[in-house]
């Protein structure tokens, strides 16, 4: 910058014409990326009767759950999804369109994949009990309470009814909605008082 200015004055003093130089390049405006770690594709896996199978994995992202779904970028704005779940035929969906900008994914593209069981799959493929995350009051610390839900991966001919019961109602009770309540007189994690 100083050299150009000095050269212009020197040329002016010597009576030589000065060629106009272009203005310095403009800086691009700064921008911020509000959500860099946004998933490109939000995958929902359902079984042959339409029951959501990855509900438990969404609550607790276990390493085994992460291996079941693989999402890879094919090209700009195109992704492929590979699902490999036990007792089901593996499936690949290619060319999933994802809206992207300079920050990456603009919004997660929802994708529902219906799996078909392998011919030798058992009738009950999975049964899990996990804390419910849908109601407003999930856990009370004292007296302790927690609502539980179940996930039964089975064809529609299998009953999904669950009978909840406590083996020791003097310590804890559970009702038929899956609400567990502690009855005994000490908070969880504290030692029992000495007699």
- Tens digit of each residue's pLDDT (9 = 90 or more) over 135-168: 555 555 656 788 888 888 988 888 888 899 999 9
Strands 139-141 and 144-153: antiparallel
pLDDT of residue 31: 60
The H-or-E segment that residue 135 falls in is none
Report pTM.
0.64
Q: What is the DSSP string of 81-112?
A: EEE--TTB--EEEEEEE--EETTEESSPEEEE
Residue 171 confidence (pLDDT) above 50: yes
At residue 122 the predicted structure's pLDDT band, cuts being 50, 70 and 90, is: very high
- Rounded mean pLDDT of the chain? 76
**Where do the domains of the chain lie?**
41-114, 126-182
| C-alpha distances out from residue 118 to 44, 88, 94, Å | 19, 5, 22
- For residues 104 and 160, what is the distance between their CA atoms, to the nearest angstrom? 41
CB 77 within 8 A of CB 8: no
């Amino acid at each position: 910058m100083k050299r150009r200015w000095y050269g212009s004055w020197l040329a002016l003093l010597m009576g030589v014409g000065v060629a106009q130089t272009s203005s310095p390049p403009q800086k691009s405006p700064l921008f911020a990326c509000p959500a860099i770690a946004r998933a490109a594709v939000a995958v929902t896996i359902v079984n042959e009767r339409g029951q959501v199978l990855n509900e438990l994995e969404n609550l607790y992202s276990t390493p085994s759950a992460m291996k079941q779904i693989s999402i890879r970028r094919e090209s700009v704005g195109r992704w492929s999804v590979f699902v490999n779940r036990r007792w089901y035929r593996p499936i690949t969906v290619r060319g999933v369109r994802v809206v992207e900008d300079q920050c990456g994914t603009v919004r997660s593209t929802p994708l529902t994949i219906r799996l078909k069981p392998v011919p030798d799959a058992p009738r009950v493929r999975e049964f899990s009990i996990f804390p419910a995350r849908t109601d407003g009051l999930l856990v009370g610390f004292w007296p302790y309470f927690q609502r539980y839900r179940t996930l039964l991966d089975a064809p529609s001919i299998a009953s999904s009814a669950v009978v909840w019961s406590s083996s020791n109602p003097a310590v804890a009770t559970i009702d038929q909605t899956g609400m567990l309540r502690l009855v005994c007189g000490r908070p969880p994690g504290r030692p029992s008082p000495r007699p």
